[in-house]
Amino acid sequence: MIQTIQSKLVAKCYSQRAGINYDKVFAPIAHLETIRLIIYLAAQNKWKIHQIDIKSAFLNRVLEEVYIQQPPRYEVKKKEDKVLKLKKAFYGLKQASRAWNNQIDKYLQVKGFIKCYYEHALYIKNMNKDVLIICLFIDNLIFTENNQMMFQELKQAMTNEFEMIDIRLMAYNLGIEFHQMKDGIFISQESYAKEMLRSSRWIIANL
């Protein structure tokens, strides 16, 4: 049964031409090996892993000068022949992901984080013996630390800067379930595997 219906207005990225409508589009995301390393460090040191989702992350960043046609049925009355100048990045633009990454990268470095030379989606902040680690996966941020106060201070600062969808202990991410316990972290892909079987119309056997 359908419970909610969502729609999103996006730009026609297929009409953009390199060198004319955009230049660079690459935005780093964490490799799975990096995320595994974060999980290992947290489990080994009995740290908690938190997850934050940024709402409308791509809409937060100011772009270079970009113009778009007015969306059908949403034209400004008596100005249907005009185009619109974007004030912020927009879903569907090829450069939107890079624009968001540039913003969060600048924000974290201003806050004292150092970006890993070999993994540009990994940031570390050290204060004496305390450490706070952040891993970026587009608009999804994974945190682990050995000082809860450091995390709380950053969380409050980010709440003032960005609109958060959710801030929680990481329980499900990238198709993996996480059960964080006192003596370690249990990970599983049972739900993901069952969903793949359902979508493929396979019969789920009793395990």
Residue 25 has a pLDDT of 66
Closest CA to 139 of 109, 96, 180: 96
Between CA 155 and CA 167 the distance in angstroms is 9
106 touches 114 (CB < 8 A): no
For the stretch 5-51, pLDDT in tens is 777 776 666 566 665 566 676 677 888 889 889 889 988 998 999 98
Between CA 58 and CA 61 the distance in angstroms is 6
Residue in the structure block whose two tokens are 């419970």: 3
Residue 71 has a pLDDT of 77
pLDDT greater than 80 at residue 165: no
Residue 160 has a pLDDT of 84
Residue 202 has a pLDDT of 66
pLDDT, greater one: 193 or 11: 193
Return the domain boundaries, the chain.
24-57+97-199
pLDDT, greater one: 162 or 42: 42
Q: What number is the average pLDDT over the span 172-188?
A: 81
For the stretch 100-132, pLDDT in tens is 888 889 999 999 999 999 999 999 999 889 999
Residue 76 has a pLDDT of 79
Tokens representing 188? 């599983």
pLDDT greater than 60 at residue 1: no
For the stretch 45-104, pLDDT in tens is 989 999 888 876 556 566 667 777 777 777 778 887 787 777 766 666 767 777 788 888
pLDDT, greater one: 35 or 168: 35
Residue 134 has a pLDDT of 93
Between CA 60 and CA 174 the distance in angstroms is 24
Tokens representing 138? 């587009």
Residue 86's CB is within 10 A of a number of other CB atoms, namely 16
Q: Give residue 153's region: left, alpha or beta (phi > 0; psi -120 to 50).
A: alpha
Q: What is the 8-class DSSP label of residue 94? A: T
pTM across the whole model: 0.74
Residue 178 has a pLDDT of 81
Closest CA to 64 of 35, 96, 33, 38: 96
Tokens representing 73? 């049925």
